[in-house]
Structure 1
Amino acid sequence: MANRLPQLNRILAFKDLGFSLEQIAKLLDRNCHRQKLVGCCDFSSKRNFTG
C-alpha cells in the first residue's frame, strides 16, 4: 500500500490542477512527471489536453 502513495499524490495533484480523471489516466500511462509537464504543458489550456 505504501508503495502506491506517490501515485496517489500525483493523482490528487493533477485533480487539484483541474485535470479530469481521463486526462490523469493518460498522463499516468505516459509516466509523466512534474518536470516533463512543466516543460511541455501550458496549464492554461489543460482542459484541451487530448493526449
Structure 2
Amino acid sequence: MPEPEIQYRPLTPEQEARRRKRSIAIALALGAWVLLFFVLTIVKLGPQILSRPL
C-alpha cells in the first residue's frame, strides 16, 4: 500500500521571519545552557584545573 504524498503549503514571509527568530532564540538558549554547564564545572573543580600541566 503506497504512502500518501504529503503536500506542504509554502510559508509566508512573516512566518519565515518568525521561524528564523525562533530558531535563533533556541540556538542562543542552548549556547547559554552549555556555557552555564562549563562555568559551573570549572567552579566546582576549582581554579587549580586551569593551572594543571597538560
Q: Tell me the TM-score normalized by structure 2.
A: 0.33
Bigger radius of gyration among the two: 2
Kindly indicate whether structure 1 or structure 2 has the higher relative contact order, using CA contacts under 8 Å at least 6 residues apart: 1
Q: Tell me the TM-score normalized by structure 1.
A: 0.34
